[in-house]
């Protein structure tokens, strides 16, 4: 069990997985003030798929599978199989806790050669926490958790282009009940995704693929009855591309790159500017976000032998305003007749607050497909 001050819960826990951003930015640029870009429910930005996790967290332009709903739903009509299910498990903050994890379940079914339906569940368990007030008095013990449920539809626009739309219900329970005169409750809201995909592969499955994804476009989320204390969702625009080279019947290589930009306004440095920040509308916030520097780049490659063995390497870098993480990833996948098993590992890089929460973590995934 871990102990947290209630002030930490109310002010920082909204960005639990990215709470070190401001310290990182100040460390990297001590002579200049840096505006930090944060949001509520940051678990929606965690890459859950072990395949993408081994390739620097790229996923927008990779070949489709059940986990595509987390990256680019528009890929689903181009899947080789009629239906599939994906299950993943990702430990979180493993170096300081053993009860924090992200688990996902996703699936799809093709209605015909041009259309597909998809659904997914994300569950983020934050473990058991003991809350205390500013005087060190224990208030309560809680088990915060967050979840998101997606429903999606995708369709081919032509033989090479596809489009997907998804609706997402988000439930975030960080703390409930009255504490220090404030009544806390679970936050609930709805968001949507819009994505596009280009499939330029030839009959040998060689060539270019690309995609664009707008995700988490929706209303704010709040944890009290005060409507002025609602927080932005992690709206994001992602661009990705991949190239697959087929050497012969048994050997091929895929190279992928991806850019993601957080569509959230910068957090003001001055307290008197917070009201204007809070009052900003969701649509206005998307346009204002173009001035922030919260971005990340990912690069990955995958070697496939005989469509059974997959070896992966990747690199991912985030800007100071988006977490200041730079890490190398590695992964392996083995395809059996009944399922594909994927593992990924984040190589330890950085020190102290610059270390990714997935350092020394093995992500695990299972994929099942039916013709």
pTM score, whole prediction: 0.86
pLDDT tens per residue across span 236-288: 999 999 999 999 999 999 999 999 999 998 888 777 778 788 888 888 888 88
Which residue from 101, 117, 237 is spatially nearest to 165, judged by alpha carbons?
A: 117
Q: Where are the domains of the chain?
A: 2-370
Beta strands at 115-125 and 145-156: parallel, antiparallel or unpaired: antiparallel
Quick one: tokens of 185?
């409750």
Low-confidence ranges of the chain (pLDDT < 50): 2-32, 353
Task: Please count the CA atoms within 13 angstroms of the CA of 322 that sit on its side-chain side.
Answer: 24
Give CA–CA dist 129/8, Å, rounded.
12
**What pLDDT is recorded for position 2?**
47
CATH 1.10.620.20 fits 2-370, yes or no: no
Taking every pair of C-alpha atoms in the chain, what is the biggest distance, in angstroms? 69
**What pLDDT is recorded for position 340?**
96
**What pLDDT is recorded for position 43?**
92
**What pLDDT is recorded for position 10?**
39
Q: CA dihedral in degrees (150, 155, 156, 161; nearest 10)?
A: -40
**What pLDDT is recorded for position 285?**
84
């Amino acid at each position: 069990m871990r102990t947290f001050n209630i002030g930490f819960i109310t002010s920082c826990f909204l960005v639990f997985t990215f709470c070190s951003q401001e310290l990182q930015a100040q460390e990297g640029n001590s002579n200049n003030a840096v505006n930090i870009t944060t949001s509520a429910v940051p678990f929606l930005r965690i890459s859950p798929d072990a395949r993408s996790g081994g390739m620097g967290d790229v996923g927008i332009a990779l070949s489709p599978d059940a986990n595509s709903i987390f990256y680019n739903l528009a890929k689903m009509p181009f899947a080789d199989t009629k239906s599939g299910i994906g299950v993943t498990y990702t430990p979180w903050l493993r170096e300081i806790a053993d009860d924090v994890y992200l688990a996902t379940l996703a699936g799809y079914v093709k209605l015909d050669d041009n259309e597909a339906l998809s659904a997914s569940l994300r569950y983020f368990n934050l473990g058991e926490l003991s809350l205390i007030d500013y005087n060190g008095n224990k208030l309560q013990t809680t088990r915060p958790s967050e979840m998101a449920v997606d429903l999606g539809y995708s369709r081919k626009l032509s033989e090479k282009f596809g489009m997907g739309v998804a609706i997402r219900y988000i439930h975030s329970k960080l703390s409930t009940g009255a504490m220090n005169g404030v009544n806390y409750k679970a936050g609930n809201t709805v968001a949507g995704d819009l994505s596009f995909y280009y499939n330029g592969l030839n009959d040998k499955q060689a060539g270019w693929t690309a995609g664009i994804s707008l995700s988490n476009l929706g209303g704010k989320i709040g944890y009290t009855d005060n409507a002025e204390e609602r927080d932005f969702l992690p709206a994001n625009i992602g661009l990705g591309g991949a190239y697959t080279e087929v050497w012969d019947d048994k050997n091929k290589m895929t190279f992928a790159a991806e850019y993601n930009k957080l569509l959230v306004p910068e957090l003001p440095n001055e307290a008197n500017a917070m009201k204007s920040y809070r009052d900003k509308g969701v649509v206005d916030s998307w346009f204002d976000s173009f001035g922030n520097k919260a971005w990340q780049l990912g690069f990955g490659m995958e070697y496939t032998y005989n469509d059974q063995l997959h070896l992966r390497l990747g690199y991912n870098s985030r800007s100071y305003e988006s977490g200041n993480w730079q890490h190398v990833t590695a992964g392996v996948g083995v395809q059996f007749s009944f399922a594909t098993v994927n593992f990924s590992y984040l190589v330890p890089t950085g020190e102290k607050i610059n270390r990714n929460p997935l350092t020394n973590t093995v992500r695990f995934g299972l994929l099942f497909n039916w013709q």
